[in-house]
Structure 1
């Protein structure tokens, strides 16, 4: 009897299109917070975690193989550029890596969003996808903040100034924290945007974070009400 019930208990994991992606995103955020951006090996691990997120998104692109392979290719370029930056320490390589990863996260948000906000019933996969989008928005803005700081050093004020702003992983680690704090509108104030582009990005992210939660709740409730209405008619 126990063996017969086990597959049904874990059905939401085995059939979820976005389950692996959410697990990779949560793992990335928690693991990178335990690593030191000053350590070369740790920075390599952080870059590897970002590429792991790209690989875990394969099932999210099940509707378009062309988009899936294009995203995998660009993610590979981003990972290669981050490796090259570790060896050469060139600002251009850091910018290229960030642009590629930002493109990957935009593509992921779109792919998952099509499933979450499309027609159909509200199920565990939609909820997991909606949560994944929220994490993806936080990571996307982290790369946007990093690009602003790389192009205009001093755009953000940190509690402890970094020795080298060209080390991409150092900025990413700081901005993952700042991005999620801004997205949830906590606003601790330890990292402060100074330049106009930085301020506008922070304000825009805070607005997106609030609107996204409201839109997702409204959409899910609307779909649930519509689903119940159809069931009552039948």
Structure 2
């Protein structure tokens, strides 16, 4: 019988819980965001986002898109650094555009990786949940991009007008997940045609993903746990 070294066993245990750690990092960012305020909070959020993005890129390294996605991620990181180093406002637009592209390709990479797994365990299901959270992040970046190009694209109603950028971005982050969950509190209203279309497409994407992809993963996971009937 072949023996397994302690080092190999430790590596296998860590790799089998790769999505546990990625999901924990995403949830930690969500939990910390309400307590962060001002420009330092925006910088810290950008650093956390880049760190989580790098962690996600390491999950599906065998994808054909991986090298191209890594290149885009490097350009996105460079745009974020240039935004703070040069103070140029258009670098924000470039960073959001590249960030949305990287998140999209990362979600495609991870989804492809998950769909190829023959054994569906808890970590695989959590990986599907990570993709769901990435969808919300991608649409948040798209909303931020639309808001930068058209300041009247969103009406913040009860939150007031002429909001500082950190507060506006925080509200758009909230709006993205509210739209993904199809909750719709109505305190943030998309006004432009592009913003309304993005909100509708996000709601449809979230429902489609949960009904078909996540339901399939959970169903396979439950089926594996059930004893086979003879």
TM-score range, shorter chain: 0.7 to 0.9
Residue 25 of structure 1 and its aligned partner are, at CA, apart by 1.5
Quote the Cα distance in structure 2 between the aligned partners of 1:190 and 1:89: 31
Q: Alpha carbons of 1:161 and 1:19: their partners in 2 closer, same or farther (altered >3 Å)?
A: same
Quote the Cα distance in structure 1 between the aligned partners of 2:80 and 2:168: 13
Tell me if the contact between 2:57 and 2:66 (Cα under 8 Å) persists in the aligned partners.
Answer: yes
1:42 paired residue number: 41
| Worse-matched range after superposition: 217-226 or 193-202 | 217-226
1:19 paired residue number: 20
The structure 2 residue matched to 1:123, chosen from 121, 127, 130, is: 121
Quote the Cα distance in structure 1 between the aligned partners of 2:222 and 2:130: 23
Gaps of 5+ in 2: 1-8
Q: Alpha carbons of 1:115 and 1:81: their partners in 2 closer, same or farther (altered >3 Å)?
A: same
Instruction: Tell me the alpha carbon deviations over residues 127-185 of structure 1, each in whole angstroms, 9 at most, x when there is no partner.
Output: 11111011000000000111111111110011232456xx5x55432211110111111
TM-score with structure 2 length normalisation?
A: 0.81
1:160 paired residue number: 160
Residues 188-207 of structure 1: pairs in structure 2 closer than 5 A: 188-207=185-204
The structure 2 residue matched to 1:114, chosen from 96, 105, 112, is: 112
Tell me if the contact between 1:18 and 1:59 (Cα under 8 Å) persists in the aligned partners.
Answer: no
Residues 34-183 of structure 1: pairs in structure 2 closer than 5 A: 34-36=35-37, 39-64=38-63, 67-158=65-156, 159-163=159-163, 167=165, 170-183=167-180
The structure 2 residue matched to 1:216, chosen from 191, 201, 213, is: 213
Residue 40 of structure 1 and its aligned partner are, at CA, apart by 2.3
Quote the Cα distance in structure 2 between the aligned partners of 1:186 and 1:135: 15
RMSD: 2.8
Tell me if the contact between 1:20 and 1:56 (Cα under 8 Å) persists in the aligned partners.
Answer: no
Where 2:30 maps in the other structure, the secondary structure is: helix
| Worse-matched range after superposition: 54-63 or 82-91 | 82-91
Gaps of 5+ in 1: 1-7
Residue 225 of structure 1 and its aligned partner are, at CA, apart by 7.9
Q: Alpha carbons of 1:161 and 1:87: their partners in 2 closer, same or farther (altered >3 Å)?
A: farther
Where 2:145 maps in the other structure, the secondary structure is: helix
TM-score with structure 1 length normalisation?
A: 0.80
2:6 paired residue number: none
Quote the Cα distance in structure 2 between the aligned partners of 1:44 and 1:220: 36
